[in-house]
Amino acid sequence: MPNKSKSRNPILGIITGGGDCPGLNAAIRAVVRRADRLGLKIYGVMQGFKGLYEGKIRQLNPLDVSGIVSVGGTILGTSRFNPLKEPRGIARIKKNLSRYRINTLINIGGEGTMRMSHQLEEHGIPCIGIPKTIDNDVWGTDFTFGFDTAVSIATEAIDRLHTNAESHNRIMILEVMGRHTGWIATYSGIAGGADAILIPEKVFPLSRLMEIVQHRKKMGKHFSIIVIAEDAKILLDVGTKKPTLMQTPMGQDEYGHLKLGGISQLLEIELRQHLKMEVRSTILGYVQRGGSPTAHDRVLATRLGIIAVDLAKKNQTGRMVALQGNKITSIPLTQVVKKLKLVNEEIYKVGEVFFG
């Protein structure tokens, strides 16, 4: 691998890692077009870090990314494959990069991809990170692209469930993604007028939830909308001598992330046992990841992509581009990987004002 401090004309590789989300193609387009404008050669790595391990790499030019700014998914493909867990993983990666003379990687992904980028840096492979994830949980950036689109989709779902809940006097529970943070639940819950928002950052007692529903009934509102994040913590403190915490971990993926989902169904069972009301749950699932990105996500992805290439041109690697305020800046990957960005108290309190 060429020494990054001596490389004045970097040859770039671009990877989309982890789960897909709206805006990836907009970022790829920005990176390729900016690289072309600066006279830099760029290669696309197919199927995420799996392609880096297997040597599935092809050169990209502006024609390859024409017309993709509005398209969901990623033209490069992605995976949750972790090459560092494979025999001679680093050696194979370096061999494949050397074959194409790639000396700088631009990795687009969430906190798992940023952690991978940091690890590759430690093995002498220069990397720059671009934060994307519908979860909005990457430390150091105010927003990740993909988040705005997911919130818009979840908000529309709440709007649609609202009419059904009111027509049938039902408690409607909507489960959204977010992994270990409640950004999607909080933002969509506020925007959709939810009566309660349950997130991983706040343990929510079942007794409190029942109070909200019963208070609404006394007010003449015989329906309720509950938005719950997939890793929400619910304290089962009704009809039991010893309160217990309800969670739903379901194994791990290649990055060591817990596989989550189904907590809304467990909550539905609990509420049915204690309330004489109809209760229905809906898991929004992968719908949140699909389709065209919003205008906000297209612009953010484009801005981040351009600055990432500018950093590469200056050989400023080991960093992640980030949105702070309304400015695109960059921060060291060593800071990014230390912790998740959790929902802050201020924004959650906005939602609490309207509970019940």
The pLDDT tens digits for 103-128 are: 999 999 999 999 999 999 999 999 99
For the entire predicted model, the pTM comes to 0.93
75-101 as b/e: b if 16+ CB within 10 A: bbbbbbbbbeeeeebbebbbebbeebe
Strand 12-16 versus strand 104-109 pairing type: parallel
End-to-end CA distance of the chain: give it in Å, rounded.
59
| Active-site residue, from 20, 135, 231, 297 | 135
Residue 135 designated active-site: yes
Q: What is the pLDDT of residue 1?
A: 46
The residue written with tokens 């982890």 in the block is 18
Q: What is the pLDDT of residue 3?
A: 44
The pLDDT tens digits for 272-303 are: 999 989 999 999 999 999 999 999 999 999 99
Q: What is the pLDDT of residue 239?
A: 78
Q: Distance between CA atoms of 128 and 114, rounded to whole angstroms?
A: 9
